């Protein structure tokens, strides 16, 4: 499993995962400092997610034509440009330039999110869930390194708080570019034929693909709307310190990625649908902690459970997707999946700031319950449909 390509993917995906971690932690605070409007605090993060969603089909299409290597190299250059723009915007306190920079971060991350599919192509079929788990597990390394480096460099320019953090990110984006020069994708097959809308219709008729998309998509919405509103509610409303808030977010990120040590094996042992069910119930418990208790440790427990539930839904959904489409349709399926999944995440992030401003923390959590019920229903129907279909076929 530890072949050269897989190791390169692991290194590149880890460093390429720095920017979104910093955007989650700092973009809302930077925006509130520049604009002095809490209602706009989640706009840059939402633009990043919107950039991911809008660029996902394009990123998948570019990789189907250029190959994985050139696509990932292109993403590193976009990331470098976007982080330079963010650095300039912080220096001049220009919100609109900061927003554009975050949108471009999203464009680069649309390519970065393809690392999990590249990892699955680098291993045998029975190792696919584990390979995706490892890529997500490395998110812990990304989170811890990026958050600690951003904290270390944030005061490097005393008159421009966090400018040093973004300059560091700019320099770090060069690392994946160098490492990827040694990536070999010559043995992979690519589909250079024209895009066909009929392929999208065919994919959406596949019940397993629908289950994968809804599970990952609604799971991402739930995670995004609660996670994005948490630092704002803690730091700006309940007056917890930035350090206290960052601890909760870091533990949430650990909850997102640490279960990857075993979630891939759970998928292999119990099946994708059962892990999806389990992930949904964990998210229910997260909402219970968030709504019934109002103290620092309740935030901590709720956000850790939120991360774990998301992990189970995302890994099971991603691995289910990979085994549910025909090889000729893989890039279209991957682009369609990421477009829908990250569009729902963007909607969740955008809703967080608005709902926190116009309603409250409890309403944000309760709004996620119907979505989790929909995941359960779709998973149940998809599983039973496929059972019935097999019985008819036999």
CATH number at residue 386: 1.20.1250.20
Q: Which two tokens stand for residue 156?
A: 């490097």
| CA–CA dist 112, 29 (Å, integer) | 25
Which residues have CB under 8 Å from 256's CB, separation 6+?
136, 139, 223, 307, 308, 310, 311
For 112: left if phi > 0, alpha if psi spans -120 to 50, otherwise beta; the answer is alpha
Name the residue range of residue 334's domain: 4-181+198-393
What is the model's pLDDT at position 250? 81
What is the model's pLDDT at position 25? 79
Low-confidence ranges of the chain (pLDDT < 50): 389-394
C-alpha distances (whole Å) from 258 to each of 115, 147, 319 are 18, 16, 17
What pTM value is reported for the model? Answer: 0.78
Q: What is the DSSP letter of 320?
A: H
Q: pLDDT tens digit string along 299-325?
A: 999 999 999 999 999 999 988 998 888
> Do 257 and 311 meet the contact criterion of CB atoms below 8 Å apart?
yes
With b meaning 16 or more CB within 10 Å and e meaning fewer, what string describes 333-343? bbbbbbbbbbb
| 192 is a domain residue | no
| 357 is a domain residue | yes
How many domains does one find in the chain? 1
| 50 is a domain residue | yes
| 187 is a domain residue | no
| CA–CA dist 90, 311 (Å, integer) | 33
Query: Which element (helix H / strand E) includes 174?
Result: helix 174-180
| 203 is a domain residue | yes
| 190 is a domain residue | no
| 186 is a domain residue | no
The full DSSP string for 58-113 is HHHHHHHHH-HHHHHHHHHHHHHHHHHHHHHHHHHT-HHHHHHHHHHHHHHHHHHT
Which among 170, 163, 168 has a CA at the least distance from the CA of 94? Answer: 163
What is the dihedral sign for C-alpha 361, 366, 367, 369? positive
| 11 is a domain residue | yes
């Amino acid at each position: 499993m530890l072949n050269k390509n897989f190791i390169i993917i692991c290194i590149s995906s880890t460093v390429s995962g720095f920017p979104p971690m910093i955007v989650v932690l700092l973009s809302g605070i930077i925006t509130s400092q520049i604009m002095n409007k809490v209602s706009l605090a989640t706009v840059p993060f939402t633009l990043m997610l919107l950039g991911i969603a809008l660029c996902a089909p394009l990123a998948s299409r570019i990789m189907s034509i250029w190959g994985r290597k050139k696509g990932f190299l292109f993403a590193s250059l976009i990331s470098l440009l976007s982080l330079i723009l963010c650095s300039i915007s912080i220096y001049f306190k220009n919100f609109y330039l900061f927003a554009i920079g975050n949108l471009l971060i999203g464009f680069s991350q649309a390519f970065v999110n393809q690392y999990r599919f590249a990892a699955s192509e680098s291993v045998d079929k029975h190792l696919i869930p584990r390979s995706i788990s490892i890529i997500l597990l490395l998110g812990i390394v990304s989170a811890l390194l990026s958050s600690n480096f951003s904290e270390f460099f944030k005061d490097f320019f005393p008159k421009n708080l966090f400018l040093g953090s973004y300059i560091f990110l700019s320099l770090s984006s060069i690392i994946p570019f160098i490492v990827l020069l040694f990536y070999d994708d010559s043995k992979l097959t690519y589909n250079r034929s024209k895009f066909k809308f009929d392929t999208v219709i065919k994919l959406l008729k596949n019940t397993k693909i629908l289950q994968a998309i809804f599970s990952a998509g609604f799971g991402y919405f739930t995670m995004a709307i609660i996670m994005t509103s948490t630092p704002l509610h803690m730091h700006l409303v309940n007056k917890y310190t930035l350090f206290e808030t960052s601890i909760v977010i870091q533990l949430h990120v650990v909850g997102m990625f640490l279960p990857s040590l075993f979630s891939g094996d759970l998928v292999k042992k119990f099946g994708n649908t059962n892990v999806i069910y389990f992930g949904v119930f964990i998210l229910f418990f997260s909402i219970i902690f968030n709504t019934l208790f109002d103290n620092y440790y309740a935030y901590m427990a709720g956000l850790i459970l939120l991360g774990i539930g998301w992990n189970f839904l995302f890994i099971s959904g991603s691995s289910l997707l990979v085994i549910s489409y025909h090889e000729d349709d893989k890039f279209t399926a991957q682009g369609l999946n990421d477009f829908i999944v990250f569009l729902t995440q963007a909607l969740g992030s955008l809703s967080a700031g608005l709902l926190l401003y116009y309603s409250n923390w409890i309403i944000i959590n309760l709004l996620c319950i119907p979505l989790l019920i929909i995941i359960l229903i779709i998973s149940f129907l998809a599983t039973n449909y496929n059972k019935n279909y097999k019985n008819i076929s036999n």
